Amino acid sequence: MRLRPQATCLRLSATLVCILIIAMFALLGGLTLWISIVSRIVLIPVVAIISYEIMKFGVGHISKRVVRILLAPGLMLQAMTTEEPDANQREAAILALNEAVEIDKAAYSSYNA
């Protein structure tokens, strides 16, 4: 099964974020509660930036064997946990989106009236 690049990037990003969060917070060790909370709040943007850069590098160098080996676990997990939606799921998603758009239009109209 061939995966769409967008879906691959999203799953890859989630995998990288989880790995980086575990690694970074494991290095912090046993801190007090307040320092632990503050460190997590401060480090979230750092994790996001690093994950984005690794993902960008991985997508740009996917033809290299080393990169494919490093990305393989996340891609295998994606292949096991995702599948294309069937016709009923697509129809439900379209109906839900159309309903949300109508609600948004109504709210916007009443707000600007």
Digit-coded pLDDT (tens) for 29-67: 777 888 878 877 888 888 778 777 877 887 788 788 887
The span from the CA of 5 to the CA of 61, in Å, is 13
**pTM of the full structure:** 0.47
Q: Which percentage of the chain shows pLDDT scores above 70?
A: 84
CA distances to 8, 48, 67, 69 from 73, in Å: 12, 20, 11, 8
The span from the CA of 93 to the CA of 27, in Å, is 42
Question: b/e for 53-86, b at 16 or more Cβ within 10 A?
Answer: ebbeebeeeeeeeeeeeebeebbeebeeeeeeee
Domain map (residue ranges) of the chain: 5-82, 85-113
Classify 90 as helix, strand or coil.
helix
How many CB atoms lie under 10 A from the CB of residue 9? 15
